[in-house]
Amino acid sequence: GQILNSTLEQQEVRKRAVEAATQLMKAETGSLLLVDENKEKLYFEVALGDKEETIKTITLDLGEGIAGWVAQKGKHLIVNSPKKDARFYIGVDGRTKFKTRNLICVPVKVKQKVIGVLEAVNKQDGADFTEEDLSLFSSLADQVAIALDNARLYQEQEVMFFQTAESLADAIEKRDPYTGGHTQRVTLYSLAIARYLPLKPIEKKWLKIASVLHDIGKIGIEDQILKKPAQLSPEEYGVIKHHSDLGAEIIDHIRQLRDIVPGVKYHHEKVNGRGYPKGLKGEDIPLLAKIVSVSDTYDAMTTDRPYRKALTKEAALKELKRCGGSQFDRKVVEAFMKAYRNGEI
């Protein structure tokens, strides 16, 4: 299922909230400004209308202009004669050639703290904004605050999930003395490859998780084999090979991660059918797995092993190309090459 919200979607959601609020105020236009805590500035997160691009280049200091005053004081404000109000900042109108007749501006607060400002500009039909407008507009600002806070909590939780998965992958990796940083590098390579393939945002998220968790099954491989400081016997190699199935089994218990299972299970398949665990061929191998396979192999080739030195980057690239169409999917290798040429790998 679609478990991960995108930031773009959140921006769309905020835009629609400001549109609804502006409509409710019977205003010509409206905007949502957010507080940037580090820089102690207000920036336009949403600005309706055709001046949006220009407005978004403007930032206000806390205390500057009506919005800056509202953000600093945490109080609402109706300004029906901006020219007579010393707090009014003419700069925005100046840059956008817009004429502010009147405006209503309320703080957006989460747990007593101002995180932004919602404003509606120019009441339609030349009327003034009223106390009744203020009451409604404040209600809407509370809803926006809740939505913003929920989005923040969601993103924090998403980061927590990735950090937990990465920490555990690291810990598992540490049992394998030859793979320091492997998971991180594979994830980096996979995401670079993905930029040159037609993947949907949700598929990129899946790819990221699959890359982080691709070797998770090594948790079930005994030390004697995993830590052997020499090339493995065929029997021992058979045990190691089991890690992709073991990893898939672990992840299969996590309902929301079902879409990641194929990426983990089949990251050692080869397009010529000579991989494991299933000997899948060509199009039968899921794309996520094909990408992880290229990232994983490239990293293995370019790092030292107990029984051989690392290849140079150039030699590894040559090997990827040579095996495009036999071991690797040709398109994935091409995407890798593009990412490499653009300095992303």
Q: Which residues contact 159 (CB under 8 A, 6 or more apart)?
A: none
Q: How far is the CB of 142 from its own copies (least distance, A)?
A: 7
Among 13, 62, 202, 239, binds its own copies (CB under 8 A): 13
Judged by CB, which is closer to its own copies: 233, or 256? 256
Decide if residue 127 touches its own copies (CB under 8 A).
no
Q: How far is the CB of 295 from its own copies (least distance, A)?
A: 21
- End-to-end CA distance of the chain: give it in Å, rounded: 30
Give the C-alpha separation, 167 to 253, whole Å. 20
Give the C-alpha separation, 103 to 298, whole Å. 59
Decide if residue 146 touches its own copies (CB under 8 A).
yes
Decide if residue 37 touches its own copies (CB under 8 A).
no
Q: How many residues bind its own copies (CB under 8 A)?
A: 54
Among 24, 239, 300, 337, binds its own copies (CB under 8 A): 24
Judged by CB, which is closer to its own copies: 144, or 320? 144
Helix residue ranges per DSSP H, the chain? 7-24, 52-55, 65-73, 91-96, 131-174, 182-194, 201-213, 223-226, 234-241, 243-252, 261-265, 287-301, 313-322, 330-341
Distance of CA 252 to the CA centre of its chain: 24
Give the C-alpha separation, 201 to 207, whole Å. 10
Judged by CB, which is closer to its own copies: 64, or 158? 158
Decide if residue 178 touches its own copies (CB under 8 A).
no
DSSP code at position 59: E
Residues that bind its own copies (CB under 8 A): 1, 3-5, 13, 16-17, 19-20, 23-24, 135-136, 139-140, 142-143, 146-147, 150-151, 153-154, 156-161, 163-168, 170-172, 174-175, 216, 219-220, 222-224, 246, 250-251, 253-257
